[in-house]
A and B are shown apart, each in its own frame.
Chain A
Amino acid sequence: MTAMDLEVDTTLIRRAAADLEHAETTLGAVTYAGGCRRQGPALSPDALGDSDAGRQAAAVVNLRMTSSFDAAAQLHTVARDLGDRLRTAALTFDRTETAG
């Protein structure tokens, strides 16, 4: 891939990477604490009562809470990696331009 067959503005690509970095930071703040993954507050198994319905509902709430943090962590990684790729692409385009 070269800049010749594409319309490329590396300044705008870097700005896009910076936007993704903001998204990464926002997601990182809710997903990680001191470098460790947050898990979210878990309901006690009997928080919604000791009946079958209560324990089942508490289990589902906890499951979904864990999933929510999993989702945020996935989105955080995607934002980070896409940003990295854009920065790498901008650098490659600049070098190609200079070499050309």
Chain B
Amino acid sequence: MIGPLLAGPVPELARLVLADCTDAIAEMMAIRPTELRSTAERGRGLAGAIRASGTQADGASWELARGWSAVPPRLATARLVATCDRVADLLTGHAQAAEVACQVIEQTQQALAAETQTAVAQLSRVLQAAPAGVPALLGLAGNAGTIMGLVVGLGQRVRAHRVAIDSALLSLAGSLTSDPAAEADLLRAGPTAVLPPDPVQNPASRTDLRNRALLEADKHSGDLNRLVLASGVQQSLDLARSRSGVAQLLVYDRAAYHGQGRAAIAVGDLTTADNIAVVVPGIGSSPTDMSGGVSSAADLRDEAQKQAPGSRSAVVAWYGYDIPMSTGADILPGTWTSINDALAALSADNAVEGGAALSSDVQTFETMAQSSRRTTLLGFSMGSTTVSQAARFDVPVDGVVLMGSPGAGLGARTVEDYRAVRPENVYAVKYAFDPVTLPETDLFAKMMTGSTKGFGPDPADPAFGAKEMAVSSNEPMNARSLLTTGKSMLDQHSMTNYMSGAALAAEAAVVNGATRRVPVKKK
């Protein structure tokens, strides 16, 4: 504490002179490494118990090897043993990292206390050396050079200590990137589970709880970007919950994409769902307002469950890529970020990067789900390009629906280029008057960027090989409607238009795997 350091017969002037340093010193001296050490000790104890239980379970492996020739029981027990060992190793590593941080903090605090006491003592001597009868302020002025040297010297040491402590804290946070529950979860959910998931130890709901803890912290942050992102995500979560009773925040990363952030909300419980769908929005959307994606996700879930009574669906609104033209909704983007964000709408580059992120997230979602679930990816506009790019990765899904697509992106010449999905399970939805799906949009983008890349092939083109859904726009489009309602062609290109009416019914049928109920145009 800075108080005791400056206690005693220290002239008031010394306190004033050191005022610039005192806040920083007080902040560092207030750190409580003992609290961290106590937490680390608890983790070390937990590691010991988990390691001991692994040794006990290993006895079971040995008995089973002699007592039962069937392989699955031995494998399941061996996986339990291996997981116990790895979790124990991880927790031991975490405890060691915490101990290292404690030592750095304690050494820094000791050095800081000693240096501050020395500086205060020297300063007191200088100030008290003023001749009797000379006002204190004049004494101060007479020793300005010495005092300045003391203050500057202490300030430099305080800054160096701040750097040392921050480095130790960042290093500690960096050492804790691995989640101890991740491998244990794989015993309970996902394709390699030895036991089925249960609602109490549900990995999706735990992921939700953790992300909500981060969200809660951001809701009280002094950083405006964090505050707005967190408030927007919270509103979307509330909306999802009001629509389905269960809303899970599966992805929450406030730092991604120059402040845009990343978020994904499941409408419904991912872990117990028979059918999972992931909906990806297009340009101009942002995690700060996911209401459009969440509403469409809830509509799709309702329709899927209506078509297959007794089935359980979870639909994820995925705002997980660097969405072009999102800066209108993001807060305080830099100028270059804004310009790049606008230019990104003219190419499939962000969708290519986003495809990898989507593929990775889908893989994570599947580890939280039942091994028997169906998974469908649906993308609208640039979101469809992102889904198309994700389908190039070998992360198997059961269906893909590309809605209002400007193009499938590079490297996806036909459905045969998709490794994630069988060609017959790829669908395209395209409305006749949707300007974004017209070839002119691709030509315009190429002209504006001076590039030959554009958005790639039209997924609704028969040559691409996808099945085109035989559904009509929900927005009337003729000369009369233009005159009487003032609607423009751009109204054709909305996620709501592509996820309502006959289109929604067809998409829900794909989600359920009832592909015979999907109306398809004849080629």
Residue numbers of A with Cβ under 8 A of B are 1, 6-13, 15-17, 19-20, 22-24, 26-27, 29-30, 40-44, 46-51, 53-57, 59-75, 77-79, 81-83, 85-86, 89
Contacts and interface: CB of A to CB of B under 8 A. Distances in A.
A46 B169 contact: no
Given A6-B70, A8-B67, A82-B194, A43 B39 contact: yes
Nearest to A42: B39
The secondary structure that dominates the B interface is: helix
Contact size class for B? Answer: 35 or more
Given A12-B68, A46-B30, A47-B31, A61 B98 contact: yes
Contacts of A1: 70
B39 A65 contact: yes
A77 B73 CA distance: 16
B440 interface: no
Contacts of B32: 44, 47-48
Contacts of B246: none
Interface string B336-375: 0000000000000000000000000000000000000000
Given A23-B53, A44-B35, A60-B173, 13 more contacts: A6-B70, A16-B59, A16-B64, A19-B59, A30-B46, A47-B35, A70-B180, A71-B87, A72-B50, A74-B185, A75-B187, A81-B195, A82-B77
B68 A78 contact: no
B56 A22 contact: yes
Nearest to A64: B176
B311 to A, nearest CB: 26
A27 to B, nearest CB: 5
A73 B73 contact: no
Given A16-B63, A30-B45, A75-B80, A51 B50 contact: no
A7 B68 contact: yes
B523 interface: no
Contacts of A22: 53, 56, 59
Contacts of A15: 59-60, 63, 67
B176 A60 contact: yes
B211 to A, nearest CB: 10
Given A26-B53, A77-B201, A78-B188, A49 B63 contact: no
B329 to A, nearest CB: 25
16 contacts: A6-B68, A13-B67, A22-B53, A23-B53, A27-B53, A43-B39, A47-B31, A49-B31, A51-B169, A68-B91, A68-B180, A74-B185, A75-B80, A75-B184, A78-B195, A89-B73
Given A43-B35, A86-B73, A69 B56 contact: no
B57 A20 contact: yes
B29 to A, nearest CB: 10
A67 B54 CA distance: 18
